Structure 1
Amino acid sequence: MFIKRILQPIIEGQLRSNKVILLTGARRVGKTVLMNQLADSFNGLKLLLNGDDLSTADLLNDRRVASYRRWLGDTELLLIDEAQVIPEVGRSLKLMIDSFAHLTVLVTGSSAFDLTNRTGEPLVGRQLAYTLYPLAQLELSATETYLQTRDRLTDRLIFGSYPNVVRMNNDNDRVDYMKSMVSSYLLKDILLFEQVRNAHKMLQLLQLIAYQIGSEVSNDELSRQLQLDRNTVVRYLDLFTKVFILFRLGGYSNNLRKEVTKSSKWYFFDNGIRNALINNFSLPYQRPDMGALWENYLIAERLKRNAYQRRQATTYFWRTYDQQELDWLEEQDGQLSAFEMKWNTNRVRFPKAFQTAYPTASLSVVNPDNYLDFIT
């Protein structure tokens, strides 16, 4: 099953820009596949390199224009997979882009903190950055009918949307794949580049977050439960965002003193990773956490949708100290939109305090009957 990624035509339009195009994203989301498709669609002279190959690092680290000219020749598109493993790759790429007006470089990396750090300041004004996520419903909708999408909703809530998982037809294969993701790939970038040796504690932290989807998370409480220094917990959470495991949602406030603003909620980019961490792939009717799964799925899909459609919305949750709350707020161009995520389609009462404080805000419920409008 071929699934065209939304980023493909966007990046194709930049392949003669004389810039460095950074493509980041978690492991196994399809960056290499997308890079190869972009290479196939390019009708100029191109060269593909792999950052894991030591000879690639040797070529790039010989930072002399004459050296680059010798092996680049008239290359118009240079593609480097896993560029984050190459020391000082940013300096090399800057020299290439500054020296060869006909050259564009596309590089991939599975960790935002390392690829951006290694390509950062030297490439200011010379780079374009894109993030590839697990498959978005926006992309899947192009390959399936409305009825197929509705029939496959349970699979996406339980097993997530990594490309290989979506292509599998057997649930046991999906479970095995997601478990291998957690055991073999989830922390690989952090352990490799940040010299973090306490992998056991990191997995425990992710498991604690997995059980608290949709709830406010206290760093102090996590510190006590894990018997880790609070600053270490904060650092680990930051690293999880930079390897595209988690993302943070902060509290919104503009009017009321009783609004909660300092707390955080954490969500996973993919439901399958979350369920693998707690080793629970039960069907919806067998599990008590469907509200949390539904909320995580919708918010992750909305994040992908906003990113791919270049919607510059700032996002929050909303809660007061007397427990009035809303799951998801978006603020864009001065307009505030609020959403409640409900797996069950029962009637919802919106908080009076919010309606009084923000009378012009729109209020919506997202449930299984209308969720596609929210995420596509």
Structure 2
Amino acid sequence: MKFKRSLLPRLINSLLPGKVVVLYGPRQVGKTTLVKELIAVSPFRSRFINADELMYREVLSSQSVQRLGEVLGDAELLVIDEAQRVTDIGLNLKILVDRFPQARIIATGSASFDLANKISEPLTGRTLTFTLFPVSYAEVSETIGMIEARFQLDRWLVWGGYPAIAATDDLDLRKQLLNNLVGSYLYRDILELDGVRKSDKIVNLLRLLAYQIGSEVSLAELATNLALHRQTVEKYLDLLEKTFVIFKVEGFSRNLRKEVTKNSRYYFYDNGVRNSLIQNFNSPNLRQDIGQLWENFLVVERRKANQAAGKSVNSYFWRTYDQKEIDCVEEHSGRLYGYEFKWTCGEIRKTVCKEFNLSYPDSSLTAIKKENFEDFIM
């Protein structure tokens, strides 16, 4: 099954002379496939370079106008895949842009922290940045239709949206592909680019986070459980965010004493990755953690939807010390929008509604259920 990626039109519209389009995203998410699709429909003469190949890495890191010009040749569009592999990639791209201002360039990378550091300073003001996530529910619906997508909702909750895994109906193959992804590709950037050696600690850290979806995470508690220094845990969490495994959501507060903001919550970019870490691929109706699956799914799908719409949103959770909480609070256009996630039928507690509305009178509060979730994530 081939999915229609919503990012493709935005990438095409961003191909401007003298600009570098930077495409981030986790390994195996389909970046190479996407840029090759772009090349196929682009009106520009194109050249695709894989920076994993040593001969191209050497030329692209040469800082030689002549050698860089030879790489470009007569191409109007140059695509550099795995650009973080290239030494001083930002400086070399600057030379290309300065000397060949008619060129359009795309650089892809699976490690945002490494590629961003290398590109941002030399090319200040001349980059356009995008992130490719695992396949979204909206993209699934666009590909197979809304009725079929809704019928298959359990599948996406359990197996996630990595393209190779989402494309197969073979359950054993899905499990094998997902376990291989989590066992190798997921950590490669951290292990290679930041010199991390204790990969077992990273896996154990992720497992602890997998069981704490929807709850605030204590760094001190993680450090104790892992027998690591708190600073090391903070470093690992930061690297896992920058390699698109997890992301952090802070607590919302307008400095009211009763609101909890000390700890953060962590979510996985993909439900399948989370389930592989805890080795639970049971269907939702057989699980005790369906509330966590549903919350992780909705939070990350909302994140994808906001990016697809080009919508700038600040996202939080909200909780008070007397245990009133809202799963998701969004701040945009000068207003607050609260969302509570309900897998089973149920309404938001009246005490929660009252407290939130009293604290923030110009806000709205909506329960997101199986009956209305498409409106929230599409």
What residue in structure 2 maps to residue 358 of structure 1?
360
Is 2:151 the counterpart of 1:151?
yes
Question: Alignment partner of 1:247: what SS?
Answer: strand
1:128-149 Cα offsets, whole Å, 9 max, x none, are 1100000112211211232211
Q: Are 1:82 and 1:108, in contact at CA under 8 Å, matched by a contact in 2?
A: yes
* Matches of 1:364 and 1:78, distance apart in 2: 46
What residue in structure 2 maps to residue 184 of structure 1?
184
* Matches of 1:22 and 1:122, distance apart in 2: 14
Q: Are 1:16 and 1:76, in contact at CA under 8 Å, matched by a contact in 2?
A: no
1:252-263 equivalence runs, <5 A = 252-254=252-254, 256-263=256-263
* Matches of 1:300 and 1:11, distance apart in 2: 21
1:46-195 equivalence runs, <5 A = 46-195=46-195
- Letter of the aligned partner of 1:242 in structure 2? K
* Matches of 2:150 and 2:13, distance apart in 1: 33
How far did residue 115 of structure 1 move? 1.1
Q: Are 1:319 and 1:325, in contact at CA under 8 Å, matched by a contact in 2?
A: yes
Q: Are 1:136 and 1:301, in contact at CA under 8 Å, matched by a contact in 2?
A: yes
Range moving further from structure 2, 336-345 or 34-43? 34-43
What residue in structure 1 maps to residue 3 of structure 2?
3
* Matches of 1:234 and 1:50, distance apart in 2: 33
1:15-54 equivalence runs, <5 A = 15-54=15-54
- Letter of the aligned partner of 2:66 in structure 1? A
Question: Alignment partner of 2:317: what SS?
Answer: strand
Question: Alignment partner of 1:21: what SS?
Answer: strand
What residue in structure 1 maps to residue 370 of structure 2?
368
Q: Are 1:161 and 1:272, in contact at CA under 8 Å, matched by a contact in 2?
A: yes
* Matches of 1:70 and 1:230, distance apart in 2: 49
1:82-135 Cα offsets, whole Å, 9 max, x none, are 111111111100110011121011111111111111212001111111000001
- Letter of the aligned partner of 1:362 in structure 2? S
Range moving further from structure 2, 215-224 or 246-255? 246-255
Quick one: percent identity of the two aligned structures?
Answer: 43
- Letter of the aligned partner of 2:202 in structure 1? M
Q: Are 1:46 and 1:78, in contact at CA under 8 Å, matched by a contact in 2?
A: yes
Query: Where does structure 1 lack aligned partners over 5 or more consecutive residues?
Result: none
Range moving further from structure 2, 237-246 or 353-362? 353-362
Change (3 A) 1:168 1:70: closer
Is 2:320 the counterpart of 1:328?
no
Q: Are 2:141 and 2:148, in contact at CA under 8 Å, matched by a contact in 1?
A: no
How far did residue 46 of structure 1 move? 1.7
1:261-298 Cα offsets, whole Å, 9 max, x none, are 12100000000000000000011121100000000000
* TM-score after normalising by structure 2: 0.97
What residue in structure 2 maps to residue 228 of structure 1?
228
Range moving further from structure 2, 198-207 or 108-117? 108-117
What residue in structure 2 maps to residue 344 of structure 1?
344
How far did residue 309 of structure 1 move? 0.8
What residue in structure 2 maps to residue 210 of structure 1?
210
* Matches of 1:99 and 1:239, distance apart in 2: 35
* Matches of 1:67 and 1:170, distance apart in 2: 47
How far did residue 255 of structure 1 move? 5.1
Q: Are 2:2 and 2:167, in contact at CA under 8 Å, matched by a contact in 1?
A: no
Question: Alignment partner of 1:239: what SS?
Answer: helix
* Matches of 2:225 and 2:92, distance apart in 1: 44
Q: Are 1:25 and 1:131, in contact at CA under 8 Å, matched by a contact in 2?
A: yes
Change (3 A) 1:146 1:7: closer
Question: Alignment partner of 1:125: what SS?
Answer: coil
- Letter of the aligned partner of 1:344 in structure 2? T
Q: Are 1:329 and 1:337, in contact at CA under 8 Å, matched by a contact in 2?
A: yes
How far did residue 48 of structure 1 move? 1.1
- Letter of the aligned partner of 1:137 in structure 2? Y
Q: Are 2:159 and 2:281, in contact at CA under 8 Å, matched by a contact in 1?
A: yes
1:331-351 Cα offsets, whole Å, 9 max, x none, are 001110000001101232141
- Letter of the aligned partner of 2:74 in structure 1? D
Aligned length: 376
How far did residue 73 of structure 1 move? 2.9
1:299-318 equivalence runs, <5 A = 299-318=299-318
Change (3 A) 1:338 1:240: same
* Matches of 1:70 and 1:9, distance apart in 2: 29
Q: Are 2:69 and 2:96, in contact at CA under 8 Å, matched by a contact in 1?
A: no
* TM-score after normalising by structure 1: 0.98
1:226-305 equivalence runs, <5 A = 226-254=226-254, 256-305=256-305
Question: Alignment partner of 1:186: what SS?
Answer: helix
How far did residue 302 of structure 1 move? 0.2
Question: Alignment partner of 1:15: what SS?
Answer: coil
* Matches of 2:30 and 2:261, distance apart in 1: 36
Q: Are 1:342 and 1:367, in contact at CA under 8 Å, matched by a contact in 2?
A: yes
Question: Alignment partner of 2:122: what SS?
Answer: helix
